[in-house]
Structure 1
Amino acid sequence: MMLTLGTLMAAWGETTPQHGLVGLRPLPITAEQASKGNHGGSWAGCPTFDAQKGNYPFCAEHVDVIMGWLDGDFKTKRMFFEYYWGLDAGRDDLDPQKNLLIKTIRGWEAKGGKIEHILICREYDLAIHRGYPDAQPGPFKEDTRILFGKDVDDIRALFRNAHKAGLTKHDNYKLIQMVQHPTFFADDQRFLPILRKVDGIAYECHQFNRHWPLETGWSAPEKVVRGAKWT
């Protein structure tokens, strides 16, 4: 039931807490979702939160932040979610009444969610093969997940306009840039102007596909450590 996503994150301008946060990505949530999931391998037979309801009281009481889920036994309403920009023009419509990111925020806030941050990127490499033929990469071929600077500016303006229209609770939300390369963001000076526009960096690492085995995979420890030290 535990997290299958690893992140390295740097948030700017915040007081360092006295302890780390405990976060959880409930994956999969239901048996139906497990039977359909195939992200690097079948999820069939995985423990699910609906089946385990009532069996994890300590976890339910003490987890600080949840990814993309507010049901079940968890006491916290602090949460975050993952969002892909640049899949098609309709999703990215800058009219807050039509924009899917704003609709997603509204949906979580309507359930009582307190959005800590949004993991965001351009998911071109996968999306182009998964039903989004018009998906567009970011500005760097070395890491196509990275947003354009204009993307961030547009999203910030979208937040302000949505709040002004009474659609969301806040006029800004923290944007954490998800990256796929463990060190490009730290090594290439071209990324710095975009870095200054976002609130942090998240590196995604799985225990399967190109990330595994750890010693020889994409997420080789020395590269991940170098990126983490840079943050």
Structure 2
Amino acid sequence: MMRFTYYGHSCFAVQIKGKKILFDPFITPNALAKNIDISQIAADYIFLSHGHEDHVADCISIAGRTGAKVICSFEIHIWLNNQGITNTHPMNTGGKWAFDFGAVKCVVAQHSSGLPDGSYGGNPMGFVFTSEEGNFYYSGDTALTLDMQLVPQYAILNFAVLPVGDNFTMGIEDAIQAARFIQCNQVIGVHYDTFGFIKIDHEKAGKAFSDQEMKLHLLQPGETLDI
């Protein structure tokens, strides 16, 4: 079992073997996360799926304060280094690395990845985490892709974190198909409601998953789930 904390949009943290792992920090610009104080967020690692502002906005602030190691594409690694964040670990699609909490495999995400200043952010990525405490997949921002069928070869998943907001990423129907591809019935939804383009009907979304004998968790910013 792992502890999952949601901070709004696609920002969340997972605690594994006592390590606090933060993903895609976008909190201060998000009105839905107005009650989250980023100065209180602890992080040993920060994983960035891609370079868009709604995934990196608070990275420099949190990494600078906590000293967390930032794992990201090579291009984002250079961008961060140029802004004084030097505790970074660059990776790219297909690569795998053993960290002190477990191993991480970088997998395909079908999206774009420009940085806030307009520079190139490298390939968008998803991540498959394997550890003694459990395994999970974070797809990052992505379309439904047949590459997801490879994920079960890397890990039997306890849960998956998938975008469900549509328009910029997968919507509900494609997220259900993604869950089939990755062979995981426990899905935590992200990348929804933050902007007008990605607002969803929570009740309808939950029913669509339950009709397929799957569970969709839609958390409130600040909510924690043991899963």
User: Please, what TM-score do these two structures have when normalized by structure 1?
Assistant: 0.36
**Which structure features the higher share of strand residues?**
2
From the CA coordinates, give the structure whose radius of gyration is larger.
1
User: Please, what TM-score do these two structures have when normalized by structure 2?
Assistant: 0.37
